[in-house]
């Protein structure tokens, strides 16, 4: 039996920012933080939720030009988006001028506001084939790809890069110059090299340096995990916006400028439940399997959840998943209230 807990909801809707802060090509941008593209994670329901909380635009996951050109329905489906996600940026990757140009032309009728070329993916099967971060080792090709995309499509073209391939040869200056000369309208910079993959820390000094000499909008990216760090990065690096990836999973409030630690478990649950419903609507069957990666992140701060985690992740039945969710929540929220009472009790 499903236990429905009526949450006491305070409005979490993000303040609508009407002021245009800057433009990317002809596209006006109203915010300074964005959900970073993440394959298998930043799908339509997730982007919609992030936008509703203040993410300034929506990046699709990256899609292979080859698959677009083959008309693979699974690949094309990744570009599905709702009107409220707009402005939507389609991200694509490839390793040849012809293939990337024809892919962009095929997806243009699906109404991207911007097309972004992935030049940062470090995964071997992508980068070793010369796509993604592989383009950092072949800047003349990257330049020709951008030029061709600008010439043969009618939307602004942007790129997402890393600061170099090798740890000891950071070629970000050359990369930014080549991209600018080829016609990009903005550049997102993940402050790691391809060799680092996800190890170490993003180099925000380099991101700030890029912002200081670039003549297109620059978006900084890497390791932002709180509202306070986001504000510090924006202030100190002076980038036009920041991209937030891993820390936004299970924490869309980061785009509203609300620290998740200030929210009650019921407020978190309400958003998690709505997110799950949106996924059920989008994916129909098996949404609960796909939702588990978000579920873990929504609740991982709660001690009680840590005890239940393995059992919840093992569930293979939708009804059982929902029942366990709600019965666990009842327990967590009782303990959470108890925790609050204990916190408030005078010593």
Ligand X SMILES: Cc1cc2nc3c(=O)[nH]c(=O)nc-3n(C[C@H](O)[C@H](O)[C@H](O)COP(=O)(O)O)c2cc1C
253: Cβ contacts below 8 Å, ≥ 6 apart: 12, 53, 259, 260, 263, 271
Q: How far is the CB of 4 from ligand X (least distance, A)?
A: 32
Nearest distance in Å: CB 127, ligand X: 12
Q: What is the rounded distance in angstroms from the CA atom of residue 269 to the CA atom of residue 80? A: 27
Q: Which of residues 131-190 bind ligand X (CB under 6 A)?
A: 160, 190
Least Å from the CB of residue 41 to ligand X: 5
Comparing CB distances to ligand X, the nearer of 198 and 334 is 198
Tell me how far, at minimum, the Cβ of 310 lies from ligand X, in Å. Answer: 21
Based on the residue annotation, tell me whether 121 is a catalytic residue of this protein. Answer: yes
Distance CA 277, CA 65 (A): 31
What residues between 15 and 74 interact with ligand X by CB under 6 A?
Answer: 36-41, 61-62
Number of chain positions touching ligand X (CB under 6 A): 22
Coil/strand/helix, residue 79: coil
Q: Does 224 bind ligand X (CB under 6 A)?
A: yes
C-alpha triplet 298, 118, 200: angle, nearest 5°: 60
Q: Which of 245, 276, 278, 328 binds ligand X (CB under 6 A)?
A: 245
How far, CA to CA in Å, does 300 sit from each of 32, 230, 244, 342? Answer: 27, 21, 19, 21
Q: What is the dihedral of CA 329, 247, 251, 324, to 10 degrees?
A: -20
Catalytic residue among 64, 121, 136, 207: 121
**Binding string, residues 111-130; x marks residues near ligand X by CB under 6 A:** -------x-xx---------
| CB atoms inside a 10 Å sphere around CB 255 | 25
Regarding 290 and contact with ligand X (CB under 6 A), the answer is no
**Is position 219 an interface residue for ligand X (rule: CB under 6 A)?**
no
Q: Which residue is nearest to ligand X (CB)?
A: 245
Are the beta carbons of 268 and 297 closer than 8 angstroms?
Answer: no
List active site positions: 121
Q: Write out the residues near ligand X by the rule CB under 6 A.
A: 36-41, 61-62, 91, 118, 120-121, 160, 190, 221-224, 244-247
């Amino acid at each position: 039996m499903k236990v429905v807990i009526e949450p006491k909801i305070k409005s979490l809707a993000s303040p609508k920012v009407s002021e245009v802060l800057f433009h990317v090509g002809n596209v006006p941008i109203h915010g300074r933080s964005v959900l970073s593209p993440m394959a298998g994670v930043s799908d339509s329901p997730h982007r919609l939720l992030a936008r509703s909380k203040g993410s300034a635009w929506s990046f699709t996951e990256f899609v292979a030009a080859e698959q677009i050109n083959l008309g693979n329905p699974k690949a094309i489906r990744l570009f599905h988006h709702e009107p409220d996600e707009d402005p939507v940026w389609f991200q694509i990757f490839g390793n040849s001028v012809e293939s990337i140009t024809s892919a962009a032309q095929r997806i243009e009728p699906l109404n991207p506001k911007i097309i972004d070329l992935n030049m940062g993916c470090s995964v071997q099967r992508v980068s070793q084939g010369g796509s993604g971060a592989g383009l950092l080792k072949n800047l003349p090709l990257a330049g020709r790809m951008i030029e061709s995309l600008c010439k043969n499509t009618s939307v602004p073209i942007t790129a997402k890069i890393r600061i170099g391939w090798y740890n000891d040869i950071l070629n970000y200056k050359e990369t930014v110059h080549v991209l600018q000369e080829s016609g990009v309208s903005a550049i997102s910079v993940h402050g790691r090299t391809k060799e680092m993959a996800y190890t170490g820390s993003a180099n925000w000094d380099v991101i700030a340096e890029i912002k200081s000499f670039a003549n297109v909008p620059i978006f900084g990216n890497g390791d932002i995990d709180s509202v306070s760090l986001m504000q510090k990065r924006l202030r100190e690096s002076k980038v036009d916006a920041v991209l937030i990836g891993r820390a936004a999973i299970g924490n869309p409030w980061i785009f509203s400028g609300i620290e998740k630690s200030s929210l009650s478990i019921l407020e978190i649950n309400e958003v998690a439940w709505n997110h799950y419903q949106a996924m059920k609507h989008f994916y129909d069957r098996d949404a609960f399997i796909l939702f588990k990666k978000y579920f873990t992140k929504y609740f991982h701060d709660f001690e009680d959840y840590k005890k239940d985690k393995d059992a919840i992740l093992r569930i293979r039945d939708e009804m059982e998943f929902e029942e366990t969710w709600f019965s666990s929540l009842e327990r967590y929220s009782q303990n959470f209230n108890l925790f609050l009472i204990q916190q408030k009790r005078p010593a």
